[in-house]
Structure 1
């Protein structure tokens, strides 16, 4: 049974890593700064959550998982705020969305 749980945890971690790797390549598809920032923050958040969820499965639900849940909660609060602050400062400093012809 523990072998199956470890395989499932490894698969979840690999899915998170693949999601983050494909997201990095997806960033280059967009032209303007704001779209790239949006994609980067979404890929980072979902990949990080998936990887940490895989770690929780791998180590079992104990004190270590409680610490991971606290890290996830703090990350879910601070990442959108940081992304908003970065894009707002870019907008206030003069970056604008380029209109395509």
Structure 2
């Protein structure tokens, strides 16, 4: 019973982190800041919720599967965010308007 209460608090704190992060997304206007905030909020909120799920399940085979999901998320989320930011950087109008150094 106590484990479930602790797990619920951890999971709701993850949802709260995502909610606060989405407010930060609306606050900032720069695309790069929005990408950074979305990446951090998504990763931290998801990890917190998954840790809450692991506490809820206790020691079981499902807990180890959630651990693998967490590992996969930690490895792939920065790569996806970098790809999105790099694509936005290449296609940004500021890059096209800069003078060339070639002369």
1:69 matched residue in structure 2: 67
1:17 matched residue in structure 2: 15
Matches within 5 A, 1:31-70: 31-70=29-68
1:90 matched residue in structure 2: 88
Which structure: larger Rg? 2
User: RMSD of aligned C-alpha atoms?
Assistant: 1.3
With structure 1 as the length reference, what TM-score do the two structures score? 0.90
With structure 2 as the length reference, what TM-score do the two structures score? 0.88
Q: Distance in 2 between matches of 1:45 and 1:95?
A: 29
- 4+ runs deviating over 4 angstroms: none
Describe the superposition over 1:71-98 as per-residue Cα deviations: whole angstroms up to 9, x where unpaired.
Answer: 011110100000000000110112549x
* Unaligned segments of structure 1, at least 5 residues: none
* Unaligned segments of structure 2, at least 5 residues: 96-103
Q: Distance in 2 between matches of 1:79 and 1:66?
A: 20
